Amino acid sequence: MKHLIAPSVLSCDFANMQRDIEMINESNADWFHIDVMDGVFVPNISFGFPILKAIKKHAKKTIDVHLMIVNPDQYIEEFANSGADIITVHYEACPHLHRTIQLIHSFGMKAGVALNPHTDVSVLNSIISDIDMVLIMSVNPGFGGQKFIENAIKKVADAKQLIEKSGSKAIIEVDGGVNLDTGSRLVEAGAQVLVAGSFVFNSEKPSDTITALKNM
């Protein structure tokens, strides 16, 4: 499969959100990546349901929600009602991860599991067959515009191996510090979805940057 591009709305101009959503609609991007932060699991607060619902009203592509929050279970239903197609929770935030995955699936959404830079891929051994996506964090979650952590390349290869060995249908997404250099190396290692925030929105022509990432 040709890799997918998921621009992170976190880096868009919040005062011109509709304009930036239309840009993504008309671009070669595949998904909308939505970063929800609670100020507890990560040292930053982003946005919640009202913003997601406003995005959903205009977005014409898959809504990929990345939850950087503790106790995600109590909000899964509201995320489903707010328009999420895929929900990714953090391994480090879920003591009952299998239950959380079942809950996400019970609302007809796809379920992903994200791993912080310090968390080894092997922790997914017993859950890999139950999930639709592995999200390898290539920065410490919480902020856009951080420097890519090189070890993520090896983790993508590890995830690919685990998926092949287990017969899982999960796909591999990578989030943080993605640009044309890191992006092409990630795709080579087996990444199938690239999230890109600041590289897209800080560029002169974001839709051209999306095309460049797609055509790598």
Judged by CB under 5 A, which of 30, 35, 64, 92 binds Zn ion?
A: 35
Judged by CB under 5 A, the residue of 175, 187, 212, 213 near Zn ion is 175
Phi, psi of 86 (to 5 degrees): -130, 135
DSSP 7-42: EBGGGS-GGGHHHHHHHHHHSS--EEEEEEEBSSSS
For ligand DX5, the closer CB: 83 or 197: 197
Which strands make up the sheet holding 62-68, listed edge to edge?
4-7, 193-196, 171-175, 133-137, 110-115, 86-90, 62-68, 31-37
Q: What is the DSSP letter of 190?
A: T
Q: Please identify, using beta-carbon distances, which residue of 14 and 161 lies nearer to ligand DX5.
A: 14
Catalytic residue among 35, 38, 132, 158: 35
DSSP bridge partners of 174: 136, 194
What spatial distance separates the first Cα and last Cα of the chain, rounded to whole Å? 13
* Nearest distance in Å: CB 39, ligand DX5: 13
What is the three-class DSSP state of 3? coil
CA 194 to each of CA 27, 75, 76, 90, 105: distance values in angstroms, whole numbers, following the listed order: 15, 25, 24, 17, 23
Query: At closest approach, how far in Å is the CB of 165 from ligand DX5?
Result: 27
Please confirm, yes or no, whether 175 is among the known catalytic residues.
yes
Stretch that binds Zn ion, among 16-24, 55-63, 78-86, 171-179 (CB under 5 A): 171-179
Closest of 206, 214, 147 to residue 184, by C-alpha: 214
176 binds, among Zn ion, ligand DX5, none (CB under 5 to 8 A by kind): ligand DX5
- Report the residue number, 51 or 166, with the smaller CB distance to ligand DX5: 51
Q: What is the footprint of Zn ion within residues 110-169 (CB under 5 A)?
A: none
121 is in the binding site of which of Zn ion, ligand DX5, none (Cβ under 5 to 8 A by kind)?
Answer: none
Segment interacting with Zn ion (CB under 5 A) among 42-50, 66-74, 100-108, 119-127: 66-74
The residues annotated as belonging to the active site are 35, 175
> Which residues of the chain form contacts with Zn ion (CB under 5 A)?
35, 66, 175
